C-alpha cells in the first residue's frame, strides 16, 4: 500500500480490460454526447422555465404557457439525462478508472450526495409537471429549487472531472484529510470550466425551447413566435458569454498541457467547435430578430449540434493530453468479451430507437396541446 501511494497514479488494475481501448473510447464519446443533449435540455430548460415562471407571475400570458410546457417535459429530460449518463460513466471508469476512482474517493461525501440531490430534483420536476399551473408561490419556489439542485449536481461533477486530472494532488490531499471532504475549487481551471458547462446547458436549453416554440407555432402562431424568440435570445446570449468562458478556461491551463493541446490534432476540433459556435450564435441572433423566426431556427440547431460534437472531442482530447503528461497509460492487458460487447451494441441501438419513438410521440402530443396538465 505504501509503494502504490508513493506514485502519482495508482498501478493499473490487475484484471484485463473487457474491450479494446479504441472501442471503449468511441462508445464513451457517443454515449456522453447523448447524455450531453439530454442533460443540457434538463438544466437549460429548468433555468429558462424558472425565469418564464417569474414573467408569468408578472402577467405575461405566453410566459405562463411556456413555463407549463417546460414543466410538463422536464421529468422526461431529467430521466433521459440520468439514463444516458450511466454508460459514459462506466466507460470512463474502464479507461480512466485509476484517476477517476481516486478523485471520487477524495470527494466521496459530495460525490455520494449526488444521488439524494438528484432524487429531490426529480420529485421537484414531477411536482411542477403536475401542479406547476396552480396559483400561489409554491411552483415558483420549487422551480428555482430544481434549478439550484441541478446546478449543485453540475458543481460536483465538474469538481470530480477536473480533480481526476490533477494527479499530483492525490497524495497530498489524501494525507491532509482522508475523510472525503475535498473539492477542487482552488484549481484555476475550475471556475471557467463550470461556467462553460452551465452556459452550454443554457444555450442548448434555449434552442430546445425555441424548437418547442416551432411546434407551438402550429397551434398558435403568435405564441410560437414569442417562444422561438425567447429561446433563441437565451441561446445567443449564453453562447456569446460561453466564448469568453471557453477562452478563459484555455488560457489558465497549465502551460505544458496548453502547448501540447494546441500543437496537436485536438486544436483542429477546438477550431471547428469555436467556428460552429459562432455560426450558432449569429443564427440564433437572426432567429430572435427575424420577422418570421422559425426560418433561421434550423441553421442554429445544426450549428449547435456540430459545436457539441467538436467540443466533446476537444474535451476528451484535453483530458487525454493532461493525463498523458502525468504519466497515465491505458491498461495494456486487454481480453475482449465480444459476446457481451455485441449484446450491449444491440441493446444500445434498440434503446436509441425506443427513445426516438418516445420523443416523436411526445412531440405529437405536445403539438395537440397540454391535455393532461
If you count them, how many residues does the chain have?
373
- Residue 368: the pLDDT is 56
- Residue 371: the pLDDT is 40
Contact call for residues 260 and 232 (beta carbons, < 8 A):
no
- pLDDT 10s digits, 16-54: 899 999 999 999 999 999 999 999 999 999 999 999 999
Residue 238 host element (H or E): helix 221-251
pTM, full prediction: 0.92
- Domain map of the chain by residue range? 19-186, 188-326
Task: Supply 125's cell numbers.
Answer: 420536476
The CA-atom distances, in angstroms, between 292 and each of 125, 209, 225, 289 are 32, 16, 7, 9
Contact call for residues 152 and 117 (beta carbons, < 8 A):
yes
Between CA 118 and CA 85 the distance in angstroms is 13
Report helix, strand or coil for 17: strand
pLDDT in tens, the chain (373 residues): 333 333 577 877 788 899 999 999 999 999 999 999 999 999 999 999 999 999 988 778 899 989 999 999 999 999 999 999 999 999 999 999 999 999 999 999 999 999 999 999 999 999 999 886 666 688 999 999 999 999 999 999 999 999 999 999 999 999 999 999 999 999 999 999 999 999 999 999 999 999 999 988 878 888 899 999 999 999 999 999 999 999 999 999 999 999 988 876 768 889 999 999 999 999 999 999 888 777 789 999 999 999 999 999 999 999 999 999 888 888 888 999 999 999 999 998 998 899 888 877 876 665 555 444 4
Between CA 190 and CA 196 the distance in angstroms is 10
- pLDDT 10s digits, 83-124: 999 999 999 999 999 999 999 999 999 999 999 999 999 999
Contact call for residues 207 and 227 (beta carbons, < 8 A):
no
Between CA 288 and CA 51 the distance in angstroms is 17
What are the beta bridge partners of residue 17? 334
Residue 126 makes CB contacts below 8 A (sequence gap 6+) with: 75
CA angle 207, 279, 53 (to 5 degrees): 20
Amino acid at each position: 500500500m505504501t509503494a502504490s501511494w508513493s506514485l502519482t497514479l495508482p498501478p493499473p488494475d490487475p484484471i484485463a480490460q473487457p474491450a479494446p481501448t479504441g472501442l471503449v473510447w468511441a462508445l464513451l464519446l457517443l454515449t456522453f454526447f447523448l447524455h450531453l443533449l439530454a442533460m443540457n435540455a434538463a438544466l437549460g430548460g429548468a433555468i429558462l422555465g424558472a425565469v418564464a415562471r417569474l414573467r408569468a407571475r408578472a402577467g405575461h400570458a405566453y410566459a405562463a404557457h411556456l413555463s407549463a410546457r417546460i414543466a410538463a417535459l422536464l421529468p422526461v429530460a431529467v430521466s433521459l439525462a440520468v439514463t444516458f449518463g450511466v454508460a459514459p460513466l462506466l466507460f470512463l471508469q474502464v479507461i480512466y478508472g485509476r484517476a477517476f476512482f481516486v478523485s471520487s474517493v477524495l470527494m466521496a461525501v459530495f460525490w455520494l450526495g449526488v444521488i439524494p440531490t438528484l432524487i429531490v430534483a426529480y420529485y421537484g420536476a414531477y411536482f411542477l409537471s403536475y401542479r406547476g399551473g396552480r396559483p400561489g408561490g409554491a411552483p415558483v419556489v420549487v422551480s428555482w429549487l430544481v434549478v439550484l439542485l441541478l446546478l449543485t449536481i453540475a458543481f460536483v461533477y465538474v469538481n470530480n472531472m477536473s480533480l481526476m486530472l490533477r494527479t499530483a494532488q492525490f497524495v497530498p490531499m489524501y494525507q491532509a484529510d482522508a475523510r472525503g471532504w475535498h473539492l477542487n475549487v482552488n484549481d484555476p481551471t475550475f471556475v471557467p470550466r463550470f461556467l462553460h458547462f452551465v452556459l452550454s446547458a443554457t444555450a442548448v436549453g434555449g434552442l430546445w425551447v425555441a424548437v418547442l416554440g416551432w411546434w407551438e407555432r402550429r397551434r398558435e402562431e403568435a405564441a410560437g413566435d414569442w417562444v422561438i424568440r425567447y429561446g433563441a435570445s437565451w441561446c445567443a446570449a449564453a453562447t456569446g458569454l460561453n466564448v469568453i468562458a471557453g477562452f478563459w478556461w484555455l488560457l489558465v491551463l497549465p502551460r505544458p498541457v496548453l502547448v501540447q493541446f494546441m500543437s496537436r490534432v485536438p486544436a483542429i476540433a477546438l477550431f471547428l467547435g469555436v467556428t460552429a459556435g459562432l455560426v450558432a450564435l449569429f443564427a440564433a441572433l437572426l432567429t430572435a430578430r427575424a420577422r418570421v423566426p422559425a426560418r433561421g431556427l434550423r441553421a442554429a440547431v445544426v450549428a449547435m449540434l456540430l459545436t457539441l460534437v467538436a467540443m466533446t472531442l476537444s474535451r476528451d482530447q484535453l483530458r487525454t493530453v493532461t493525463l498523458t503528461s502525468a504519466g497515465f497509460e491505458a491498461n495494456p492487458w486487454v481480453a475482449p468479451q465480444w459476446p457481451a460487447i455485441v449484446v450491449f451494441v444491440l441493446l444500445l441501438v434498440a434503446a436509441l430507437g425506443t427513445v426516438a419513438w418516445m420523443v416523436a410521440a411526445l412531440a405529437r402530443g405536445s403539438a395537440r396541446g397540454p391535455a393532461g396538465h
